[in-house]
Structure 1
Amino acid sequence: MQFPESWLREFCNPRLSTQQLAETLTMAGLEVEELRPVAPPFTKIVVGEIKTAVQHSDADRLRVCQVDVGQGALLNIVCGAPNARVGIKVPCALVGAELPPGEDGKPFVIKVGKLRGVESQGMLCSARELKLSDDHGGLLELAASATVGQDIRQQLDLDDTLFTLKLTPNLAHCLSVYGVARELSALTGAPLKTPAFPPVAASHQDKLRVKISAPNLCGRFSGRIVRNVNTQAVTPQWMVDRLARCGQRSVTALVDISNYVMFEFSRPTHIFDLDKIHGGLDVRWGRPGEQLKLLNGSTVTVDDHVGVIADDVQVESLAGIMGGDATAVSDATRNVYVEAAFWWPKAIAGRSRRYNFSTEAGHRFERGVDPGQTVEHLERITQLILDICGGEAGPIDDTRVDLPQPAP
């Protein structure tokens, strides 16, 4: 379980240093396996905006850029990045800046220099040059709202630490940032910021027919239809960054939203293309010989020991593990069905390993996910969808058949 310290402190912020916080968690059984800075040390790198970019007179692959770094006068910087263009904001290393060490292990100090006879008064940087990622395909493009001249460490919140926890199987409730924060609050007495899940008003009354035929597989299945979503919407940078710091790459806005709520509250969810579902959904055990092409491209054959979500025609999803290709969301998708379910851990345990893969969803469900907040977390994911992708949400349909009973 990996997450940034800053996200944890949004929920619970005890008066402890990073090291003290790690020791507190470790001594309570949540072993902190690694602490790692989000970014290595570097100095004098600020947000710059390219005001002009003209072809170098003596080099096909170089552009001479005029860059605003908030100092009044524009800097003349020669750049070879293919995406260097007018209007973008990028990290700009000023003269005297010290970049992270290269392959030779020595820091790289920026000086005034000349490239093919043109003076360059700094350097425009890629993510790789700052050791933020391995991406070196071009300059690191910042949000349009980035403040020109601001230190890049502040702009990107780089003075942060990544926590990696080594959790035993009985600590499933800590497979989320909020779960760890709840433990931290109990350990330190620091207040816990309890999230609110205001209901999303229904814009229509459409529902999808759902039946749970196997109560020993699924005890609760909550879902809702959201119409007219923009599946090509761009994921906000703050979400992309948080997912990256949890070890998850950005895919599409809808996938990112689903993953975000999983890391936030340990709630795996799935989003179907509504218009690809035939009839309704039946949550049941598989039938020997049934096949399903998964989102990872593999085709699996199920039997009566593997849970599935099927429609009136075919199997659509491997229950609690991975969705199917047939109902996958694409750029052409307009209407979606979002589900959040409680799967019995014994019904999920070991199933993905039969097919030689594992998923974040299966890892959580086979250890146990809170059955009591499917609706609340569905409200959270719905609001994020509306905020980022737009759309109109319908009412939540909450089917309960068999839930764990609290111990007396």
Structure 2
Amino acid sequence: MKIPLSWLKSYVDVPDSLTPGQISEALVSLGFEVEEMRALDDVTGPLVIGRVVQVEELTDFKKPIRWVQVDVGDGDDEDEANPETRGVICGATNFNEGDLVVVALPGAVLPGGFAISARKTYGRTSNGMICSARELGLGEDHTGILVLPSGEASPGDDAAPLLGLDDTVIDLEITPDRGYAMSVRGLARELACSFETTLVDPAAIAVPGAEGEAHNVHIEDQLGCSRFVVRRVTGLDPTSPTPWFIRRRLMLSGIRSISLAVDVTNYVMLETGQPMHAFDTSSIKGNLVVRRALPGEKLSTLDDVDRALDPDDIVISDDTGPISLAGVMGGASTEVRSDSTDILLEAAVWDPASIARAVRRHKLPSEASKRFERSVDPALAPTAAELAAKLLREHGEARIQPGRTDVGRPELPGPVTMAIDLPDRVAGINYPRGVTARRLSQIGCNVEVTTTEAGRAAVIATPPTWRPDLTRPADLVEEVLRLEGYHTIPSVLPTAPAGRGLTATQRRRRAVSRTLADVGYVEVNPMTFVSPEIWDQFGLEADDVRRQTVKVINPLEAERNEMATTLLPGLLEALARNVSRGIRDVSLFHVGQVVLPKAQQVPVPSVAVDQRPTDAEIATLKAALPQQPVHVAVVLTGNRQRPGWWGKGEPATWADAVQAAHDVAAAAGVELTVRAGSLMPWHPGRCAELRVGDWPVGHAGELHPKVIEALGLPKRTCAMELDLDALPIQKHRPAPLVSPYPPVLLDLALVIDSSVPVAEVAEALRSGGGDLLEDLQLFDVYTGEQVGEGKRSLAYSLRFRAADRTLTSEEASAAKQAALAVVSERFGATLR
């Protein structure tokens, strides 16, 4: 919401010594978010008032161009017949001879560094520029130049004072619970509280009693409309211009001036916070009825759009049907026209939820709906109608009719009882005596100090009508702390209890993340919601358990309405996005939860919110939750080692994905065994099943070519996913023993059937080598005529070492032979 500070200062006595920046800081300390502070003083040089003397239409150009003679009162022109005029080229057509305009003379600099000089254009020398509101920094309206009301100034006068270019416009973001602040009245009250100064309430006017009804109104839907007020004025001069002070304030607040009647309703809305609507009384047929729309009804709104109404929409109707979409926008059939003299002013209180739904349904946000969504003061409607009627009488020669319609019974806030020292206990501060009662009184509460049955002092605060958000003691505490200043609350870190720290699961998760980062993977946090189409792209069978997902009732994206049962969709999407941005070598990892629905879903119980759930209810809620184990996954493509002066790069292969699994297991303190596996979306011949003991915990390898094609991934993209929660927690991990004795290095080349997995060969060698075999590495694989068809040669490097002595070559050779014997017995391997 944009508001000029001069408007606020007209109702609150702000010290002159305060700068706009200090006022902005005060609003921030009160809990408002200041989006922007824009000073209007960025216009320099001669800026004067001019009167249009003569307009010549230049017809030799494709667009409208006018040669305008403007009286700027300087007597400095080459035109001897009329020495007090300047010739200016202008493309706007919204002004006529005799109008007052704002002229920037040569030497002026407008906002944005736009310098004005005399220049030849369209065959004429333009000696200045006639300005629009946007060119002067007063607003966004650029449909025409700014035309001032006659009598406001004289030609040659300095335009800066009239335009108020010493002002500052503040743009605030108002939270949904503080609708009262979307007005000058509400913000002025907040500043008065902050600076401990006086407030002039613009709504504090005498509202005379109603002498009959202004128009017959019936409210059918009491839930949708709690109050409806109507005031009628007649004899309005439709040609009366809107006063400049109203136009200027509306302009700086981002609202375009339309006509006196419409401008007055917008002005009262911004000043008091009560949205209003003006009907052309002669266009209303019969009585007004407030109701929900009927099926099939339509309404042509003020923006000339025919809208199909929903039965949930609240409408104002007459005998012809709906004439206004309540709280959102009026209808075109009863709009105030250029010849309207009989005006019906409406101020109502609408149900916030109904208005919010209508706005979203019709995609029709408005300044009025923004306020109704946040709740308006139910006591303000008669005052707002009276203010608007008086302004029309003052500036449009209208006559206020004696009748006023006021129907409905709005619900007013009830009293709230709070211990008087509760703000002190919440903030941990001993506030001075009387602070609680004083601060609550400042925001408009009727405060009564009393004593509870337990003998403790308490306050009974009845919130003002404009604060429906104050319903419980916690709300009152927030108001006291807010006005006293959150910065006065001490920041003290609580002392951590001794003997506590991260759980074993948390330590393992951190160790896994650090390990993967250390070996070159980059952590990402991809989207956890997936589309059902991903399972087809993964090539999963119809009965694959990963297709059984938890549906999201209100998804962020309509097509992503399922919770992921695997981390791979999000990771592969991130990999594809990086590749599309030109990054060819990508290694990503993610540690996060997957959501696995239970075979028999437990219904979610309905739990009351006014008290703590019982233990049985908490147990039922937990039982209704799906399983959410923590997985770790990696994806990689391109080179694992980049090429450079040191040599060629090494492309990422399925072996790197398997190694990532081993790294994770090592960080978790467990040992993985690897078996040949087959599971989509992995390549059936390049997929490893990861096991802890006999229990499978994940898979790693190269993705299936069809999956790569379906997802648009680079060829030979690899991935690994492992159920981290399935790994046993090692609570007591012994420190590794480092032998001080030298190793014995031996090589072993075996000829074995090609069908035997390498992992099983390695396990057999470890089994036979015993405790002396410290490590083994496969360093060569050979197939060819020398080993025979269906055979392959596997060459291993074996490292033997004893922990308590220097190992002899005889002992190492014996351990090597024992390893050979085991692999020969299991798989028929022979020494090459």
Which of structures 1 and 2 has the larger relative contact order (alpha carbons within 8 angstroms, sep 6+)?
A: 1
Residues 1:94 and 1:328: Cα distance change in structure 2 (over 3 Å): closer
Distance 1:376 1:130, change over 3 A: closer
Aligned-partner Cα distance in 2 for 1:315–1:117:
55
Structure 2: runs of 5 or more not aligned: 59-64, 77-81, 417-832
> Which residue identity lines up with residue 221 of structure 2 in the other structure?
A
Of residues 144, 155, 172, the one that matches 2:150 is 144
Q: Which residue matches 2:713? A: none
Q: Secondary structure at the match of 2:108?
A: strand
The whole-number CA distance in structure 2 between the counterparts of 1:327 and 1:65 is 40
**How far apart, CA to CA, are the structure 2 residues paired with 1:67 and 1:341?**
47
Distance in 2 of aligned mates of 1:47 and 1:236: 17
Structure 1 counterpart of 2:292, from 256, 278, 285: 285
- Alpha-carbon offset, residue 288 of structure 1: 2.1
The residue number in structure 1 matching 2:759 is none
- Select the residue among 386, 395, 398 that pairs with 2:406: 398
Once the 2 structures are TM-superposed, how far is the Cα of residue 175 of structure 1 from its aligned partner?
A: 0.5
Which letter does structure 1 place at the counterpart of 2:372? F
Structure 1 residue 129: Cα displacement = 5.5
> What are the Cα deviations for residues 291-337 of structure 1, in whole angstroms up to 9, with x where unaligned?
22211222223343221112233122112211112222223433222
> Taking structure 1 as reference, are residues 55 and 221 closer, same or farther at Cα in structure 2, changes over 3 Å only?
closer
Asked if 1:169 corresponds to 2:176, the answer is: yes
Aligned to 1:77: 86
Q: Secondary structure at the match of 2:379?
A: helix
Amino acid at match of 2:286: G
TM-score norm. by structure 1 comes to 0.85
Aligned counterparts of 1:85 and 1:385: Cα–Cα separation in 2: 26
| Change in 2 beyond 3 A, CA 1:331/1:206 | farther
**What is the deviation of 1:101?**
6.8
Residue 285 of structure 1 and its aligned partner are, at CA, apart by 2.0
Report what 2:38 is aligned to: 36
Pairing of 1:126-205 with structure 2 (within 5 A): 126-127=131-132, 130=136, 132=138, 140-145=146-151, 146-195=153-202, 196-199=204-207
Q: 1:9 corresponds to which residue?
A: 9
The 5 A counterparts of 1:372-383 are 372-383=379-390
Residues 149-197 of structure 1 deviation map (CA, whole Å, 9 limit, x = unaligned): 4322112111111100011111111001111111111111121112342
The whole-number CA distance in structure 2 between the counterparts of 1:407 and 1:220 is 22
- Residues 1:354 and 2:381 aligned together: no
Q: Which amino acid letter does the alignment assign opposite residue 276 of structure 2?
A: T
Query: Residues 357 and 63 from structure 1, CA distance in 2 versus in 1: closer, same or farther, beyond 3 angstroms?
Result: closer
What CA distance in whole angstroms lies between the structure 2 residues aligned with 1:294 and 1:61?
35
> What's the counterpart of residue 25 of structure 1?
27
AA matched with 2:406:
D
> Per-residue deviation at 1:89?
4.0
In the TM superposition, what whole-angstrom CA distance separates every residue of 1:60-116 from its partner, at most 9, and x where no partner exists? 964666641499x96563323477987554444556x332377xx5x63657x8999
Letter in structure 1 aligned against 2:407: T
Aligned to 2:360, what secondary structure does the other structure show?
A: helix
Query: Which residue of 1 is the match for residue 589 of structure 2?
Result: none
Q: Which has the larger radius of gyration?
A: 2
* Cross-structure match for 2:254: 247
Whether contact under 8 Å (1:212, 1:401) holds in the other structure is no
Residues 79 and 350 (structure 1), Cα distance of their counterparts in 2 relative to 1, 3 Å cut: same
Which residue is equivalent to 2:785? none
SS of the residue 1:32 aligns to: strand
Number of aligned residue pairs: 397
Written as runs of structure 1 = structure 2, the 5 A alignment for 1:197-346 is 197-199=205-207, 207-346=214-353
Using the TM superposition, give the Cα deviation of residue 45 of structure 1 relative to its aligned residue in structure 2, in angstroms: 2.4
Aligned-partner residue type, residue 214 of structure 2: K
Are 1:99 and 2:105 matched, yes or no? no
Aligned-partner SS, 1:80: strand
Task: Give the distance between the partners of 1:397 and 1:47, measured in 2 at CA.
Answer: 45
1:392 CA displacement: 2.3
1:125 is aligned to 2:130: yes
Amino acid at match of 2:86: I
Distance 1:370 1:273 in 2: 26
- Tell me if structure 2 keeps the 8 A contact 1:209–1:281: yes
1:92 & 1:243 partners in 2: Cα distance? 22
- Measured in 1, the distance between the counterparts of 2:366 and 2:264 equals 17
Q: Would the alpha carbon gap of residues 201 and 333 (structure 1) be closer, same or farther in structure 2, given more than 3 Å must change?
A: farther
Deviates most, 338-347 or 167-176:
338-347
- CA pair 131-377 structure 1, distance change in 2 beyond 3 A: closer
Q: Is the 8 A contact 2:50 2:71 kept in 1?
A: no
Alpha-carbon distance in structure 2 between the residues aligned to 1:135 and 1:365: 26
The 3-state SS of whatever aligns with 2:157 is coil
Tell me if the contact between 1:200 and 1:383 (Cα under 8 Å) persists in the aligned partners. Answer: no
Distance 1:401 1:205, change over 3 A: closer
- Could you tell me which residue of structure 1 aligns to residue 820 of structure 2? none
TM-superposed CA distance for 1:136, in Å, is 7.1
Deviation per residue, 1:136-155 (Å, 9 max, x gap): 78764444331444322112
Q: Distance in 2 between matches of 1:400 and 1:269?
A: 17
Indicate conservation of the 8 Å contact 1:253/1:389, yes or no: yes
Q: Is the 8 A contact 2:264 2:391 kept in 1?
A: yes
2:802 counterpart residue number: none
Map Cα deviations across residues 1-27 of structure 1 (whole Å, 9 max, x no partner). Answer: 111111111111322210000011012
Distance 1:66 1:209, change over 3 A: closer
Structure 1 residues 132, 341: closer, same or farther in 2, change over 3 A? closer
Distance 1:169 1:266, change over 3 A: same
Once residues 166 and 215 of structure 1 are traced to their aligned partners in structure 2, the CA distance between those partners, rounded to angstroms, is 31
In structure 1, the gaps of 5 or more residues are none
Contact 2:317–2:324 (8 Å) recurs in 1: yes
The answer to whether 1:407 aligns with 2:412 is: no
Q: Describe the SS at the equivalent of 1:396.
A: strand
Q: Which amino acid aligns with 1:407?
A: P
Letter in 1 for 2:199: L
Once the two structures are superposed, what CA deviation does each residue of 1:375-395 show, in whole Å capped at 9, x if it has no partner? 111100111122233332222
SS in 2 for 1:272: strand
Paired amino acid for 2:288: L
For residues 189-209 of structure 1, give each alpha carbon's deviation from its aligned partner in whole angstroms, at most 9, with x where no partner exists.
12111234244798x966311
Hey, what's the Cα distance between the residues in 2 that align with 1:77 and 1:136?
Answer: 23
Q: CA deviation at 1:210?
A: 0.9
Question: Which residue number corresponds to residue 791 of structure 2?
Answer: none
1:154 match: secondary structure: helix
The reply to whether residue 388 of structure 1 matches residue 390 of structure 2 is no
Residue-by-residue CA offset, 1:353-380 (whole Å, 9 max, x unaligned): 1112211111111110000111111100
2:812 corresponding residue in structure 1: none
After TM superposition, give the deviation of residue 51 of structure 1 in Å: 6.8
State the AA in 2 paired with 1:79.
Answer: V
2 CA distance for matches of 1:250 and 1:214? 33
CA 1:298/1:88 → structure 2, altered by over 3 Å: closer, same or farther? closer
Amino acid at match of 1:43: G
Runs ≥4 residues deviating over 6 A: 50-56, 82-86, 113-120, 134-139
Q: Deviations over 1:333-361 (max 9, x none)?
A: 33222111111223322212111221111
